[in-house]
Amino acid sequence: MSNLSYYHFPTEIIFGSGSSEQMIVEVKKHNFNRILFVADSNVVKFDFFNTIREKFEENFDVMTFSEFSPNPLSNEIDQFEDKNIDLIIAIGGGASMDVAKALSVSIDHPGKILDYDEAKGGDNKIDCGKLIPVWAVPTTSGTGSEVGRSAVISDEETKQKKIIFHPNLIPSLVFCDPVLTENLPSKITAQTGIDAFVHLFEAYCAPGFHPMADGIALEGMRLIEKSLIRAVNAPDLEARTNMMAAAMMGAVAFQKGLGNIHSCAHSLSACFDIHHGLANGVMLPYGAQVNLSSLGEKAQTVSSILGNSSSAGDDLPHLLIDLVTESGLPTNLGAFGIVKDDCVKLSRYAFEDGCHQTNACVMTEGMFVELFNSAL
Ligand SMILES: [Fe+2]
């Protein structure tokens, strides 16, 4: 196919319309035989998935795992007991990618998946020789988990998100096919697209010298400014292509770090089971407001990307409210029935979350209380 570009940063990526059709060719090249598809319960109903599966079944021994939640739980990983898998192919959004990576660890390692929680030093227990290779086929443009090195798995009891990390968990081959996102509903396009924007924005605002991440973050935000509303309202392949690239760029950029918005989003998902992208969208303007005085000329640069080239940067939170509103997403916590009394627990969870360690300014638990209150 002549319209495909082959990238090798940060992993091998086949990008372009129709790239998913190359999957079977690549599997044959690598001599894999026993293939596990990890696809969520929606994806397994799609025609494209069944077409792929039927083609694979003619050539390989194929299994499909789809029994997991939108925020995958540790017991859902632990229940998978099959061995002798040559290759895991994740097809879907962030949840499918997370589950595929977690299974890559759990299938051939002893114990339970949360024994490998990065926060408890679990990454040191991962033997890279025992990881099952993972390939990824994203069907949403948001988490960028297809080019990420970690899996997010929630503790089955507390619902708190835990990170399973290893540099070799990055999928070794990624098929980015924007055609697979063409029929994505507006709401999911908006929620996942805002998540991608927050990855880029927080990475750019994170302190530290990382011009590669900063450059990728700026271009990613430009692509989203140009294409998110278009993809939400009147989907076209160019907008979908831009969003798929931007999502991937977000995950590459945030190796520099994230910030207070993601800590709030993780807390909202744990306490109120709110979709990750939706939670990021609602907190985006308020998290940016807290950071505004620490951003310097970065605020002006992002304001300019969002359409106000004469701005000094102080209107950034308002421009972000406009972006979230035009995407059709809520901009206050009242939309979820959250009240002032909830802010104490939300703040504790957010403060315990690791993402704000790279926030533009140092966050205290009290600052999170104020931040959640400002978003009511
Ligand atoms: Fe995110």
Q: Is pLDDT at 44 greater than 70 in this prediction?
A: yes
The rounded Å distance from CA 21 to ligand 1 centre is 28
Share of the chain above pLDDT 70, in %: 98
The rounded Å distance from CA 269 to ligand 1 centre is 11
The rounded Å distance from CA 257 to ligand 1 centre is 11
pLDDT tens for each residue of 268-287: 998 998 999 999 999 999 99
For residues 361 and 37, what is the distance between their CA atoms, to the nearest angstrom? 42
Query: At 10, is the pLDDT very low, low, confident or very high (cuts 50, 70, 90)?
Result: confident
The rounded Å distance from CA 57 to ligand 1 centre is 34
Segment 216-243 mean pLDDT: 95
The neighbour count for residue 193, using CB atoms within 10 Å, is 30
The rounded Å distance from CA 181 to ligand 1 centre is 18
The rounded Å distance from CA 199 to ligand 1 centre is 6
- Token pair for 12: 């091998």
Q: Specify the pLDDT at position 266.
A: 92
For residues 268 and 120, what is the distance between their CA atoms, to the nearest angstrom? 23
Q: Specify the pLDDT at position 25.
A: 94
What is the architecture, at CATH level 2, of domain 185-374?
Answer: Up-down Bundle (1.20)
pLDDT tens for each residue of 147-179: 999 999 999 998 888 999 999 999 999 999 999
Out of 3.40.50.1970, 3.20.20.70, 3.90.700.10, 2.60.40.10, the CATH code matching 5-180 is 3.40.50.1970
Query: At 4, is the pLDDT very low, low, confident or very high (cuts 50, 70, 90)?
Result: confident
The rounded Å distance from CA 143 to ligand 1 centre is 6
Q: Is pLDDT at 311 greater than 90 in this prediction?
A: no
Query: At 319, is the pLDDT very low, low, confident or very high (cuts 50, 70, 90)?
Result: very high
Segment 126-150 mean pLDDT: 95
Whole-model pTM? 0.91
The rounded Å distance from CA 299 to ligand 1 centre is 21
Residue 40 sits at φ, ψ, to 5 deg, of: -70, 170
The rounded Å distance from CA 321 to ligand 1 centre is 18
The rounded Å distance from CA 198 to ligand 1 centre is 7
Q: Specify the pLDDT at position 312.
A: 84
pLDDT tens for each residue of 327-370: 999 999 999 999 999 999 999 999 999 899 999 999 999 999 99
Segment 259-264 mean pLDDT: 98
Q: Mean of the per-residue pLDDT values for the chain? A: 94
Q: Specify the pLDDT at position 234.
A: 82
The rounded Å distance from CA 277 to ligand 1 centre is 7
Query: At 267, is the pLDDT very low, low, confident or very high (cuts 50, 70, 90)?
Result: very high
The rounded Å distance from CA 127 to ligand 1 centre is 27
The rounded Å distance from CA 124 to ligand 1 centre is 24
Q: Is pLDDT at 1 greater than 60 in this prediction?
A: no
The rounded Å distance from CA 54 to ligand 1 centre is 33
The rounded Å distance from CA 289 to ligand 1 centre is 19
Q: Specify the pLDDT at position 2.
A: 58
Segment 308-312 mean pLDDT: 80
Instruction: Let me know: does 48 contact 74? Beta carbons within 8 Å.
Output: no
The rounded Å distance from CA 56 to ligand 1 centre is 32
Share of the chain above pLDDT 90, in %: 88
Q: Specify the pLDDT at position 8.
A: 60
Ligand 1 being an ion, which residues bring their Cβ within 5 A of it?
A: 195
The rounded Å distance from CA 373 to ligand 1 centre is 22
3-state secondary structure of 11: coil
Q: Is pLDDT at 309 greater than 90 in this prediction?
A: no
Per the model's pLDDT, the better-predicted residue between 119 and 16 turns out to be 16
Q: Specify the pLDDT at position 7.
A: 59
Instruction: Let me know: does 171 contact 92? Beta carbons within 8 Å.
Output: no
For residues 354 and 338, what is the distance between their CA atoms, to the nearest angstrom? 23
Domain positions in the chain: 5-180, 185-374
Q: Specify the pLDDT at position 5.
A: 65
Residues with Cβ < 8 Å from 239, sequence gap 6 or more?
Answer: 227, 228, 230, 231
Segment 234-247 mean pLDDT: 94
Q: Is pLDDT at 289 greater than 80 in this prediction?
A: yes
Residue type, 353: D
Q: Specify the pLDDT at position 82.
A: 86
The rounded Å distance from CA 94 to ligand 1 centre is 9
The rounded Å distance from CA 196 to ligand 1 centre is 7
Alpha carbon 5 to chain centroid, angstroms:
23
Q: Do domains 5-180 and 185-374 have the same CATH topology?
A: no
The rounded Å distance from CA 340 to ligand 1 centre is 25
- Token pair for 176: 């980015």
The rounded Å distance from CA 43 to ligand 1 centre is 21
